Structure 1
Amino acid sequence: MKQFRITVPASSANMGPGFDSIGLALNRRLTLFVKEQGNWEIKNNSEFLSPVTNYEDNFIYQIAKQTAERHRKILPECKITVDSDIPLARGLGSSASAVMAGVELANQLCNLALTNEQKLQYGTDYEGHPDNVAPALFGGIVITAISNNEIEYVQIPAPGLDVVAYIPSVELKTETARRVLPDSLSRKSAAAASATSNLMLASLLTGNYRLAGTMMECDLFHEPYRAELIPNYQSIKREAKKAEAYGTVISGAGPTMISFIAKGLGERLAKYMSSKFPDYEVATLNIDQDGLQVDQQVHSIKSL
């Protein structure tokens, strides 16, 4: 009887102008404790997850089943206990984490021996784009592009920055945030948006974090259109800048926003922003370097 644990980090897409291309993993995690048994049983152990009434309606199970079927396999029955500290519909990649957990669940239960490239492709097929699934899989900051139907990616070294997230109590569905975006940009606007993204990334890689933060806040692809959907969008950016944040952006489609600040100053920024926005969960986060992990020794970690 197999017994294992899968953990997948949260993620934040875009970093401002890196629209649908740049993502970073964050140290909040979705965790599955899995044990084979004679029937299906799924239990959610998190305030962020709804109780399971029918295992076939569970999103992670559905992804795992689809993945198994791609290889003409049938999922063995098992008990899955799910923990998560990733809030749903907040722009922290909860869907991508669940997708990658489902892919890995099938990989482990059906002995698929999937490569990382296959996992990334499957995750992208289910999620629609790779900007969240890539960091959820690999950890760190990952830049992706789809070229000739192939997913190309590069993982870059994590910058020496602290990350502070401002998580509101309200949800914002990705579909809603997508609907406000224009179908096209003029050539002039597209060129300016692309240049901003290029300079932001180059600044990160060369350690010019002040310029990187400035470029983060100059996005033309999505933030100007989504700003009206994000509670306290301008005031959060303004107050974070007062507290010496390099840049503050929408996390994914929102409504969470995140700031990047010099290493060691995250707690100070979080304390200041908590006083200004008491209705928010203000969290100091780290860039997760591990990505998706599988542990086969769960018997000593948690009772299943």
Structure 2
Amino acid sequence: MKKFKVTVPATSANIGVGYDCLGVALDYYLELMVSESESIEYLENGEEFSIPLEENYIYSTIKLIEEKYNKKVPNYKVEIIKNEIPVSRGLGSSSSAIIAGILIADKFLGGILSEDDMAKLATEIEGHPDNVLPAIFGGMILASHDSENFYYSRIPFDNNIYFYVMIPDFKLSTEKARAVLPKEYKVSDLISNASKLGLLIDSFHRKNYDDLRFLLDDKVHQPYRFSLINNSEDIFNYSEKHGALGEYISGAGPTLISLNYKDAGFFSAMKKELENLPDKWSLEMKKICTRGAETEDIRE
């Protein structure tokens, strides 16, 4: 009987001017134990998932792969060991489930998918490569695609830079966050983003962060989403005041992230600022996850 563990990291996408193209894996994890079973089961804390199968991204991804490759995955049981990725907070909870589904199907089907196959498949399912590719490969990923072509590049990232992750106690759906975006943009705003993206990648290559806040200053999505995230502009201002290198909205929000070196003073100052806000915000200091999603065989 096949039994294995699946581990998938969280992702933080839409990094500033990298809207829909630049994302990073962070060290929050979804961990699952998977085994062959007499029937298909999804368990959390010993009980059935509260999410019905038709809304379960793991299940729907496995079914899609079965249909795409005309192969049958045997009945299986999925048990959640750990899930640190909050739902609807802009940290890739749905992406992690899709990647988990791909890994589970591939494992049962004998390893028929390469990493590139997984990347293309995940992008087709999720729609946004910056959400899923960092979870597959680890690290920071820049990606582009259309209906026929698919490209990505792994961006070197300074291990001395930390992600100060600020998560509120309210959710924000991707659909709502996309609905506020305009149908048309000024050419000057698009030029601003395009030029900054190139320089942002260059700053990560050179480990030079003097202009990081300016280079993260997006004109395409963040200005329209601040109104959906309570006190977000205030939090960005606090972050700048206390010495961060720069800030951005993670994914579609509402999670906000400050980039900075390891700094206990900055952490303490931001924690105090967040505690004074009407909503409840958590603050955690995370590092980039350099290892992507993986499976581990369990021998009994």
**Superposed pair shares fold, TM > 0.5:** yes
Q: TM-score range by the shorter chain?
A: over 0.9
Percent identical among aligned pairs is: 34
Query: How high is the TM-score relative to the length of structure 1?
Result: 0.92
Q: Give unmatched runs, 5+ long, in structure 2.
A: none
Secondary structure at the aligned position of 2:162 is classed as: strand
The separation in 2 between residues aligned to 1:7 and 1:167, in whole angstroms, is: 22
- The Cα offsets for residues 156-203 of structure 1, whole Å up to 9 and x where unpaired, read as 112230110110010000011001111222322211221122222211
Q: CA deviation at 1:79?
A: 1.3
Q: Would you say the 8 A contact 2:180–2:224 is kept in 1?
A: yes
Alpha-carbon distance between aligned partners in 1 of 2:71 and 2:283, rounded to the nearest angstrom? 44
| Residue number in structure 2 paired with 1:157 | 156
Tell me the SS of whatever aligns to 1:74: coil
Measure, in 2, the Cα distance between the counterparts of 1:195 and 1:298. Answer: 52
The 1-side partners of 2:182 and 2:134 are apart by 26
The equivalent of 1:16 in structure 2 is 16
Q: Closer, same or farther in 2 for the Cα pair 1:110/1:56, shift >3 Å?
A: farther
What is aligned with 1:208?
A: 208
Aligned counterpart for 2:273 among listed residues 271, 276, 284: 276
SS at match of 1:14: coil
Partner SS state of residue 165, structure 2: strand
Task: Report SS of the residue matched to 1:7.
Answer: strand
Q: Is the 8 A contact 1:92 1:252 kept in 2?
A: yes
Off by >4 Å, runs of 4+ in structure 1: 53-57
CA contact (8 A) 1:7 1:293 kept: yes
Residues 25-104 of structure 1: matches in 2 within 5 Å? 25-45=25-45, 51-52=49-50, 54-55=52-53, 57-82=55-80, 83-104=82-103
Q: Partner of 1:129 in structure 2?
A: 128
Q: 1:23 to 1:50 in 2, by over 3 A?
A: farther
- String of CA shifts for 1:73-121, please: whole Å, max 9, x gaps: 1221111102311000000011111111111111011224201111011
Instruction: For residue 201 of structure 2, give the secondary structure of its aligned residue in structure 1.
Output: helix
Q: Which segments of 5 or more consecutive residues in structure 1 lack a partner in the other structure? A: 300-304
Task: Measure, in 1, the Cα distance between the counterparts of 2:141 and 2:94.
Answer: 17
Aligned match of 1:285: 286
What's the offset of the Cα at 1:29?
0.6
User: How far does residue 57 in structure 1 lie from its aligned partner after superposition?
Assistant: 4.7
Is the contact made by 1:201 and 1:212 (CA closer than 8 Å) also made in structure 2? no
CA deviation after TM superposition for structure 1 residue 268, in Å: 3.5
Range with bigger deviation, 195-204 or 226-235: 195-204
Is the 1:230–1:254 Cα contact (8 Å) retained in structure 2?
yes
Native 8 Å contact 1:13 1:24 kept in 2: yes
SS at match of 1:87: coil
Q: Decide which moves more: 73-82 or 21-30.
A: 73-82
3-state DSSP class of the match of 2:291? Answer: coil
Letter in 2 for 1:286: K
Distance 1:90 1:80 in 2: 24
Which residue pairs with 2:2 in the alignment?
2
Counterpart-to-counterpart distance in 2, 1:50 and 1:36: 17
Cα separation, partners in 2 of 1:271 and 1:37, compared to 1, 3 Å: same
Partner SS, residue 131 of structure 1: helix
Deviations 1:17-36 (A, max 9, x none): 01100000000011110011
Q: Conserved in 1, the CA contact under 8 Å of 2:169 and 2:281?
A: yes
The answer on whether the counterparts of 1:196 and 1:215 sit within 8 Å (CA) in structure 2 is: yes
Q: Given that residues 17 and 197 in structure 1 are in contact (C-alpha distance below 8 angstroms), is that contact kept between their aligned partners in structure 2?
A: yes
TM-score by length of 2: 0.93
Say if 1:41 and 1:55, in contact at 8 Å, map to a contact too: no
In structure 1, how many angstroms separate the alpha carbons of the residues matched to 2:45 and 2:180? 35
Partner of 2:222: 223
Q: Secondary structure at the match of 2:211?
A: helix
Letter in 1 for 2:76: C
CA distance in 2, matches of 1:81, 1:175: 29
CA drift at 1:40:
1.6
CA distance in 1, matches of 2:83, 2:92: 12
Letter in structure 2 aligned against 1:63: T
